[in-house]
Amino acid sequence: LKHFLTIEGLSAPLLTEILDTADSFVDMGAQQVKKVPLLRGKTVANLFFEASTRTLSTFELAAKRLSADVLNLNISTSSTSKGETLKDTLMTLRAMHCDMFVVRHSASGAAHFIAEHVTPDVAVINAGDGRHAHPTQAMLDMLTIRQHKGDFSSLKIAIVGDILHSRVARSQIHALRALGAAEIRVIAPLTLLPRHLEAMGVKVYTEMSRGLRDVDVIIMLRLQKERMQSALLPSESEFYKLYGLTEAKLAYARPDAIVMHPGPINRGVEIESSVADGERSVILNQVTNGIAVRMAVMSMAMSGQLKDNQLSAKA
Ligand code: CP
């Protein structure tokens, strides 16, 4: 049994094995209807302490396609609203013989804490913790890039927007580095850039005209207002003017560049509708790939195939 908590520290062969396993589920039609018996007799509990559409739904579909029993705990109507602690909620679910917890939480490190200190005997999959990591999102993004562009070694990739608060960006950067992307760029105003990004092996730009020049992949990010102090909220119209991906700014990139966004998208804030819905957008492919990638991660966790020690890389 292994957990899946972060991309940081994982090897290229392991990440490639996850992508290859996900591709095999795509090939066998698992993204549509086909079921496989890999998690038959197992119970997966989805514990989302923060809102979600894509991640929760695709984890549920993935677990069902793996033939698991699935329990979605509605946190807002659960006994946490009566003051029950996270630990007691988890111990209660463990007593129901759940085999896997899929956890989304606003606190960075929540999934690590659960895996290490609360229920180490239950497989824990991180479905997004605070600003820290969203490893399955990064892997479905890698699958989408690989499907459209092939090998990573020649690719220039730009990640645009609220890098500071983005767990997705952090996980993508770790994945892209491990998989050998030629160039990883981030483009953002200084107020939305974390320090020491260069140490993560990325090039930093503050202007779209320079940062998007000749890139193969553009990944737009949502402004994470829920994680910002209100005094520091950027003006949406100003942000859109400078960093929103419009048709005009898209022209800086390669003519065959693809446009990605982990969602939820805010039209007219970080992306123009005609770009989000345009022929170079692969945003809905990303959503679909969430099923196969989450099937891959859950089946590999349950079979002990996640060989790297996920608890060695702390939040
Ligand atoms: N990308 C992502 O995590 O979307 P949800 O918040 O809808 O799950």
Domain 12-134+287-312 top-level CATH class: alpha beta
Sequence-distant (≥ 6) Cβ neighbours of residue 215 within 8 angstroms: 156, 157, 158, 185, 253, 254, 257
Q: Of all protein residues, whose CA lies closest to atom 4 belonging to ligand 1?
A: 54
Average pLDDT over residues 99-118: 94
Q: ipTM strictly over 0.90?
A: yes
Q: Look at residue 231 in the predicted model and tell me its pLDDT.
A: 60
Q: Does the pLDDT value for residue 76 go beyond 80?
A: no
224 annotated as ligand-binding: no
Residue 109 in contact with ligand 1 by CB distance below 6 A: no
Tell me whether the omega of the peptide bond preceding residue 264 falls within 30 degrees of 0, making it cis.
yes
What is the C-alpha to C-alpha distance for residues 134 and 93, in angstroms, rounded to an integer?
23
* CA 51 to ligand 1 centroid distance, Å: 8
Ligand 1 centroid to 264 CA: how many Å? 6
Is ligand 1 within 6 A of the CB of residue 137?
yes
Q: Does the annotation list 137 as a binding residue?
A: yes
264 Cβ closer than 6 Å to some ligand 1 atom: yes
pLDDT in tens, 43-54: 999 999 999 999
Counting Cα atoms < 13 Å in the Cβ hemisphere of 171 gives: 29
Cβ of residue 128 lying under 6 Å from some atom of ligand 1? yes
Binding site membership of 106 for ligand 1 (Cβ less than 6 Å):
no
Atom of ligand 1 nearest to the CA of 56: 8
Spacing, Cα 91 to ligand 1 middle (Å): 26
Cα–Cα distance measured from residue 174 to residue 21, given in angstroms and rounded to the nearest whole number: 20
Residues 124 and 259: their CA atoms lie apart, in Å, by 31
pLDDT beyond 60 at 310: no
Per the annotation, does 222 bind a ligand? yes
**Amino acid, res. 17:** E
Ligand 1 centroid, distance to 287 Cα (angstroms): 9
Cα-Cα-Cα-Cα torsion 263, 268, 270, 273, nearest 10 degrees, comes to 60
Closest residue to atom 6 of ligand 1, CA basis: 52
pLDDT at 79: 83
Q: Where in the chain is the domain with CATH 3.40.50.1370?
A: 12-134+287-312, 135-282
* pTM, rounded to two decimals: 0.94
Question: Encoding tokens for residue 191?
Answer: 């107020």
- Compare 64 and 227 and report the one with higher pLDDT: 64
How far from 235 is each of 155, 189, 242, CA to CA, in Å?
32, 12, 11
pLDDT greater than 50 at residue 312: no
Query: Class for domain 135-282, per CATH?
Result: alpha beta
Q: What is the pLDDT of residue 314?
A: 40
Distance 270 CA to ligand 1 centre (A): 16
Q: 222 CA to middle of ligand 1, Å?
A: 10
